[in-house]
Structure 1
Amino acid sequence: MTMKLASLLIFVLLICLFFSSKAEKEFHHFWLVQTWPSGYCSHRACRKPPPFFVLHGLWPVTYNGQSLNGSGPGNNNVRAQIANDKSLLSDMTQYWPSLIHPYYLSFWVREWNKHGSASPLDPLDYFRRTIQLMKGMDLVDTLRGAGLIPSQNGSTYPKSRYKNAISAVTQTTSVILKCYSSVIGDLLEEVMFCTDNAARNFIACNDDDLRADNCGPNVTFLVRQ
């Protein structure tokens, strides 16, 4: 009886390990990542940062909050597909400019190769849905409306105030903040949202997602002219 019980426990453990390992490798949902240029460019060689949030990307992740790497080029027509869709190209230029690279098309192709190709979406759907999620979101205006005003000297506010203000935009209870630790404090650098696996709707981030948040209890909102 003891031998049978031990065998059963080992079998159950192996099954749990199998499904746990599978969950760590399989696509589950997306992170929509927006960059605050002044924070991002405070420690990178950027061109002049714009005074609004820009897209960094739409990143496929596992249920356990692990970002998935793409499979590489895969689709050699990505550049042409974007260039030939004038409406998409205009939206991409407005919402998804590169802060470092002057050649946007090359930057977008790299985003597809690194992230998008790990998702079930084809290139045009991937970019269009990312833009659609971004449209209608003015995080600077949202934060200002909550009394969080960026300044050249860096204004510091409790992290909870950022999260409460930003969460109201997507009607979810969670948002991930990424910061750069500087001599004047934790500079707001990126804001990340969780979306469903079709990149259609915002969803609540789970505990594993929220571990990507690296900001301290107070976050500095810096703007560079």
Structure 2
Amino acid sequence: MMVESELELLLLHALPLDGTMWAEQMELLPGATYAPTLYSFGDRIESWAEKVLSLTTAKRLVVVGCSVGGSCALEVAALAPDRVAALVLIGTKAWRRLDPVYHASALETLYEKGLEAAWCEFWKPLFANAALPGTIEKAKRITMRQPLEDVAQGVTVFHTRPSRDDILSSFPGPVVVVTGSEDVAPGLKTSRKHAKMAQYGRLHVIPDCGHYVSMEQPEAINSIIRQVLETA
């Protein structure tokens, strides 16, 4: 039986990675941190959020998400607004523009060219120019151990997720928006807009950093998350 705790930390990963992208964040709230791998949770982001919530009985949650993980964090807030104390959205776009051509192209690349080709085309370019080669190689290793079908399902979840501007603008707690200075997905303009849209939004721009902040600049994001936990 799960014992209810007061505060827990949920860390939700980006494509095409898994929960181990948060290796440097797992001790921010020792014994009360979850970094699940999301692919097995279904083919809809609503299902991902439901399964994430089932992992914890905490009265209050700080939910941190990167990219599609940030979209899942918004969905968690939609499902359990009374439990989510704060959101940290890294490289996240709250609204979704339908792009069936790009969706189909991404799946075609995965299935016809393979996971490594998709990594090189879609995800490796999201790292900053200054990212350490070892960091990029670690991310590639994480990617290459994912089943291709799981990554493809993640791509579909990303492209079929609902827009959640409504949750972003109505969420009653802190919304900390984080972007790398070199992130192009979604980039500084969108991140700044999201921080302004939230009732209690704050924007952090991490220098010399791309999309995968928790791996590229772990100390910077750790400091931000610690501040959120202290006031949650």
**TM-score normalised to structure 1 length:** 0.26
TM-score normalised according to structure 2 size: 0.25
Q: Which has the higher helix share?
A: 2
Larger radius of gyration: 1
